[in-house]
């Protein structure tokens, strides 16, 4: 169902999956993470990664699995020394800030330094037994560069924006290497069994308009031009998600992606009209709605579905909609709220199709 929606083909209902659907809001995830000993140990073990990827599917009637991993596995494989500090999130021992730092960068061979991720993809596919498709993913070249240059998360992106304006040549070199690395990584995930891929451009929205096109959009388009669109005779759809990217919907549609992920600041109906069904749309419920109780969740889900509208177009074609949150699910979300959301999206999605 998910793959058909991403390719704008008819579906029986609106499929749904959730960003960060395998995560800390689930007690079973927390138990597995405790057994693993740390987040990195969890992410780097194919067995544990498979276990937590499948956990939400054992609870809810979700329409896709997404690989459990971390977007920073690629720069970690470049030798930057990823670690997680208590209360600080991810950090790198060796941030990339000087010309010599950039000169040492190279795209890693996924079959060598990221083999644990590919092994997890293979094991998850076996565990899924074709119940639902598996989505692979990577951070965008710019988002990865943010962490690489800042050395971790940032409130103001001072380091990378200084480089952008002071030494744009250095940043372009980083981004070119990242684009090659991301394309290689996604192609390796596809070869291992990923049936769709998603590029998370988490920080593209912090850029000025012209900078977004030059330093984020350009390199996502480069990645999309390199990744496989078919594997073993099956189409492999691609999704691009720029948080805060509502200003650039037409530009994102022109990258060659099959679907655009939207955050909650975008009206789905306006987005659908603007890009004229050139791409499917994914999104875009505010994750905080999941704290408001069943009635509010049901009403909000209906609003999102109604905003996209009837999937069938007047010309007889279909506009694909994949229901999702506008960003990752909060770790504090009540698990029962997700059940309400999934059930509502499926039932209301069926009703929409009957009405068409």
Determine, yes or no, domain membership for 214: yes
Domain that holds residue 144: 15-264
Reply yes or no on whether the pLDDT at 354 is more than 90: no
Reply yes or no on whether the pLDDT at 108 is more than 80: yes
Give me the pLDDT at residue 61, please. Answer: 98
Give me the pLDDT at residue 311, please. Answer: 81
Give me the pLDDT at residue 309, please. Answer: 92
Give me the pLDDT at residue 87, please. Answer: 67
Determine, yes or no, domain membership for 243: yes
Q: pLDDT tens digit string along 59-79?
A: 999 999 999 999 999 999 999
Give me the pLDDT at residue 7, please. Answer: 96
Reply yes or no on whether the pLDDT at 207 is more than 70: yes
Percent of the chain's residues with pLDDT above 90 = 91
Reply yes or no on whether the pLDDT at 58 is more than 90: yes
Reply yes or no on whether the pLDDT at 337 is more than 90: yes
Determine, yes or no, domain membership for 324: no
Number of compact structural domains in the chain: 1
Distance CA 63, CA 230 (A): 21
Distance CA 211, CA 164 (A): 8
The helix or strand, by DSSP H or E, that contains position 322, with its residue range, turns out to be strand 321-322
Nearest partner of 248 among 226, 224, 274, 227, judged by Cα: 274
CA atoms within 13 A on the CB side of 64: 29
Determine, yes or no, domain membership for 60: yes
Q: pLDDT tens digit string along 8-21?
A: 999 999 999 999 99
Q: Is 257 left (phi over 0), alpha (psi -120 to 50) or beta?
A: beta
Determine, yes or no, domain membership for 68: yes
User: Alpha carbon of 109 to those of 79, 80, 106, 239: distances in Å?
Assistant: 12, 15, 9, 23
Nearest partner of 150 among 72, 240, 40, 70, judged by Cα: 72
The helix or strand, by DSSP H or E, that contains position 227, with its residue range, turns out to be none
Global model pTM greater than 0.75: yes
Determine, yes or no, domain membership for 338: no
Q: pLDDT tens digit string along 294-328?
A: 999 999 999 999 999 988 877 777 789 999 999 99
Residues noted as catalytic: 20, 24, 33, 70, 147
The CATH number assigned to the domain holding 110 equals 3.20.20.210
Determine, yes or no, domain membership for 118: yes
Which residues have a Cβ under 8 Å from the Cβ of 212 and sit 6 or more positions away?
204, 205, 245, 248
Q: pLDDT tens digit string along 266-284?
A: 999 999 999 988 999 999 9
Give me the pLDDT at residue 307, please. Answer: 95
Give me the pLDDT at residue 313, please. Answer: 76
Q: Helix, strand, or coil here: 345?
A: helix
Mean pLDDT of 167-189: 98
Tell me what the pLDDT averaged over the chain comes to: 95
Mean pLDDT of 245-253: 95
Determine, yes or no, domain membership for 50: yes
Chain-centre distance of CA 196, in angstroms? 11
């Amino acid at each position: 169902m998910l793959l058909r929606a991403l390719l704008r083909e008819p579906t029986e209902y609106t499929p749904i999956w959730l960003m960060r659907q395998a995560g800390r809001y689930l007690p079973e995830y927390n138990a597995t993470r405790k057994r693993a000993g740390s987040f990195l140990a969890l992410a780097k073990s194919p067995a544990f990664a498979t276990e937590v990827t499948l956990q939400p599917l054992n609870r809810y009637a979700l329409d896709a699995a997404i690989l459990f991993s971390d977007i920073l596995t690629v720069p970690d494989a470049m030798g930057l020394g990823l670690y997680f500090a208590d209360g600080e999130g991810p950090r790198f021992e060796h941030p990339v800030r000087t010309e010599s730092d950039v000169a040492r960068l190279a795209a890693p061979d996924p079959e060598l330094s990221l083999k644990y991720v590919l092994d997890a993809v293979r094991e998850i596919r076996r565990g899924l037994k074709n119940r639902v498709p598996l989505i692979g993913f990577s951070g965008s070249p710019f988002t990865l560069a943010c962490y690489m240059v800042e050395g971790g998360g940032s409130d103001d992106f001072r380091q990378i924006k200084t480089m952008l304006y002071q030494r744009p040549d250095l940043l372009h070199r980083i981004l070119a290497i990242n684009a090659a690395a991301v394309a290689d990584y996604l192609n390796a995930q596809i070869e291992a069994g990923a049936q769709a891929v998603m590029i998370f451009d988490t920080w593209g929205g912090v850029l000025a308009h012209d900078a977004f096109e030059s330093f984020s959009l350009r390199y996502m388009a480069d990645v999309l031009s390199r990744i496989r669109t078919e594997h073993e005779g099956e189409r492999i759809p691609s999704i691009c998600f720029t948080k805060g990217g509502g200003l650039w919907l037409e530009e994102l549609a022109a990258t060659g992606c099959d679907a655009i992920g939207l955050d909650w600041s975008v009206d789905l109906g306006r987005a659908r009209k603007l890009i004229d069904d050139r791409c499917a749309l994914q999104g875009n419920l505010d994750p905080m709605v999941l704290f408001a109780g069943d009635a509010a969740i049901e009403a909000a889900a209906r609003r999102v579905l109604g905003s996209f509208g009837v999937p069938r177009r007047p010309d007889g074609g279909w506009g694909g909609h994949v229901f999702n949150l506008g960003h990752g699910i909060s770790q504090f979300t009540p698990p029962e709220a997700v059940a309400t959301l999934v059930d509502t999206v499926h039932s209301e999605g069926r009703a929409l199709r009957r009405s068409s």
